[in-house]
Amino acid sequence: MAIEATEPDKTAAPPIIDTEDVHLWYGSNEALKGINLTFKEHEITALIGPSGCGKSTYLRTLNRMNDLIPGVTIKGEVKLKGKDIYAPGNDTVSLRKEVGMVFQQPNPFPFSIYDNVTYGLRLGKQHTREQLDEAVETALRQAAVWEEVKDKLHDSALGLSGGQQQRVCIARVLAVKPDVVLLDEPTSALDPISSSQIESMLVALKKDYTIILVTHNMSQASRISDRTAFFLQGHLVEYDDTKTIFLNPHKKETEDYISGRFG
Ligand SMILES: Nc1ncnc2c1ncn2[C@@H]1O[C@H](COP(=O)(O)OP(=O)(O)OP(=O)(O)O)[C@@H](O)[C@H]1O
């Protein structure tokens, strides 16, 4: 199926991430069929589309998480601040500090809240106790969970509710000060109140971070994202301001999906 994608706006400020003609195969199954997409700093972009269209696969290309899957072949370019992240010799550990990832299921380590948040920091250079304490408080405040956990930082993170665990996982990513935060359906395992706390937090975070979010929740995408990319069968069908995608999409496939005719 040949679907022509809407050209992203390349005239404004330079993108923080620029992907060109990205193809990805799982064995012989071509899951991404030439994706051109750019992401601007301090925006929230939602990736939407029916199950199996390639949203999560594409998200994982942005911090090389697919490299861990056997039988994967990737072609094309993914540039972070102008540099190809797939260039030979590039270090994926430092890449993943710059481009952090939050998953669908909260996945805290079986450690204390404090040790979860400082995990990435302790992998890098030495920090004093004061620096770590400050980083923990800042990250937990940014993740809007400080007030709930400040008196039990040394208790196991596994004792928290699902919504609190997810916010601690977000704090763990923020503590290493990434430029970009990728989130793969971060609220789909959570109740409506926890989901709404995370949505408000993401909107507050965009002043400091660029956020790229996979979601099946159309109202979530329309509530919090600045731009929306609609994927279908491994193609990028349309990419535009969220308002345009939801109120005045240019492609029939987008309109059919948004209005619930399939997916
Ligand atoms: N680890 C994997 N190994 C083999 N094939 C995979 C793997 N992950 C995804 N795929 C295939 O790649 C295609 C795209 O899957 P992907 O998970 O990226 O879609 P998605 O849009 O995120 O779907 P969902 O909304 O259901 O999570 C599908 O055909 C899927 O079966």
Scanning the structure block, which residue is given the tokens 């345009």? 244
Report if residue 49 sits inside a domain: yes
For residue 238, the domain's CATH number is: 3.40.50.300
Residue 107: inside a domain: yes
**Residue 128 domain flag:** yes
Could you report the per-residue pLDDT of 49-73, keeping only the tens digit for each? 999 999 999 999 999 999 889 999 9
Per-residue pLDDT of 215-250, as tens digits, reads 999 999 999 999 999 999 999 999 999 999 999 999
Instruction: With cut-offs at 50, 70 and 90, classify the pLDDT of residue 10.
Output: very low
Question: Is pLDDT above 70 for 1?
Answer: no
CA distance 185 to 245: 19
Distance 130 CA to ligand 1 centre (A): 43
Per-residue pLDDT tens digits for 33-50? 999 999 999 999 999 999
Tokens coding 260: 């619930």
Look at residue 33 and tell me if it is in a domain: yes
**Edge-to-edge strand order for the sheet containing 29-39?**
29-39, 17-26, 72-80, 83-84
In a domain, 229, yes or no: yes
Q: Is the ipTM of this complex over 0.85?
A: yes
In a domain, 150, yes or no: yes
Q: Is there an atom of ligand 1 within 6 Å of 167 CB?
A: no
pLDDT of residue 142: 94
Among 1, 25, 26, 184, which residue has the most ligand 1 atoms within 8 Å of its CB, making it the best to mutate? 26
Cβ of residue 31 lying under 6 Å from some atom of ligand 1 = yes
Number of domains in the chain: 1
Distance CA 253, CA 263 (A): 11
Range of lowest pLDDT (7-11, 236-240, 249-253): 7-11
Q: Are 220 and 51 in contact (CB under 8 A)?
A: no
Please identify, by atom number, the ligand 1 atom nearest to the C-alpha of residue 231: 21
pLDDT above 90 for 262:
no
Q: Is residue 64 assigned to a domain? A: yes
* Domain coverage including residue 67: 17-258
User: What is the share, in percent, of the chain residues with pLDDT greater than 70?
Assistant: 95
Q: Is there an atom of ligand 1 within 6 Å of 49 CB?
A: yes
The finding on whether 6 has its CB within 6 A of some atom of ligand 1 is no
- Find out whether the beta carbon of 52 lies less than 6 Å from any atom of ligand 1: yes
Compute the distance from residue 51 Cα to the ligand 1 centre, in Å: 8
Distance CA 51, CA 162 (A): 24
In a domain, 177, yes or no: yes
Mean pLDDT of the region 4-28:
78
Is 26 near ligand 1, meaning CB less than 6 Å away? yes
Sequence-separated (6 or more) residues with CB below 8 Å from residue 177: 97
Looking at residue 112, the DSSP 8-state letter turns out to be B
Which tens digits make up the pLDDT trace of 109-146?
999 999 999 999 888 778 899 999 999 999 999 999 99
- Residues 189-198 have pLDDT tens digits of 889 998 999 9
- Predicted confidence at residue 5, as pLDDT, reads 52
Reply yes or no on whether the pLDDT at 2 is more than 50. Answer: no
Ligand 1, atom nearest to 27 Cα: 4
